[in-house]
Amino acid sequence: MTTILPPARPLRLGTRASPLAMAQARLAAQALCAAHGWAPDRVEIVPVTASGDKVLDRPLAEIGGKALWTKELDHWLHDGTIDASVHSMKDVETIRPESLVIAAMLPRADVRDTLVGATSIDALPHGGVVGTSSPRRAAQMRRLRPDISITLFRGNVATRLGKLEAGEADATLLATAGLERLGQTAVGTPVPLSVMLPAPAQGAIGIETMRDNQAVRALVAAIDDAATSDCVHAERAVLAGLGGTCHSPIAALAVLENGRILIRAEILSPDGTEHIADRRHIEPKDEPAARALGCELLAAASPALRALFTP
């Protein structure tokens, strides 16, 4: 079935209701209006409180994984409440419903992590505490600083900064892109990519539609940044090759170099003692080659590390 967008109403963009998600939805709305010459009221932002925003005292992997960020928006897409949904791509499950499609990605922002509470990882006090809910960040920190302990920090950016201010940890790690989108560029110090590789798709905003809604897909496709899409899809293909979950410490970054994609990826044990990394050049849209990289990382891992990626 193909749904034609009625000209009499705005295009409805669904989003999580957090301040960062709303800021990202506004970026998508602005891009759509600029691409199509629309007045601002031609796009309506429709927020929802996602399940993942309601339970903050347990790791995401224990309460349903990344689907908790998307399931309400998926339901609204299917029942026609919204025309498209706006996502942080790093929070979108690797395997999505066949009925949906990522129709566009905005130009990617800074992919790095920002350390808040210390000027560098080396500057953290011996035996210090770092607050994070990310298995990747926790494993990377333990690999770099085995003396560090990890405490659970979940919630939006303001909540995590509030926990830090309250003394619940010495430092925390946040996505640099998120801080920039919230106008908090003075907070913390970005960690060099040579020190910490980011989560797959970090810094990317995706807009998802119904696959068979050709009218909306065409409207949204007009704002797609091809370089971002190619690189993020390559990173997500590595995830597919790994079969990773929210329990699995995975980092990956793809960048365009002279028309080809350089992709780097790593997997770690939760305590950071085992670390398998590789890189290669692939052609844009060669997702099988990116998926193969994930499979080869697993093949090089110990049985204990490989078990983390077994469904």
Joined tokens for residue 50 = 């996602």
3-state SS assignment for residue 145:
coil
Contact 27, 55 (CB under 8 A): no
**Residue in the block written with tokens 């560029």:** 185
261: Cβ–Cβ under 8 A, 6 or more apart, which residues?
Answer: 230, 231, 234, 254, 255, 281, 282, 283, 284, 286, 290
Six-digit token pair at 241? 């090759």
* Residues belonging to the chain: 311
Q: What is the DSSP code (8-state) at residue 34?
A: H
Residue keyed to tokens 């000027």: 119
Q: Which of 4, 58, 16 is nearest to 205 (CA)?
A: 16
Which residues are registered as beta bridge partners of 267?
Answer: 250, 276
Q: φ and ψ at 163, to 5 degrees?
A: -60, -40
Q: How far apart are CA 96 and CA 310, in angstroms?
A: 19
Cα separation, 71 vs 151, in Å, equals 27
Told to judge if 113 belongs to the known catalytic residues of this protein, a careful annotator would answer no
Nearest Cα residue to 90 out of 232, 227, 241: 232
Of the listed 91, 113, 224, 230, which one is catalytic?
91
Residue type, 105: M
11, 84 Cβ separation under 8 angstroms: yes
Catalytic residues: 91
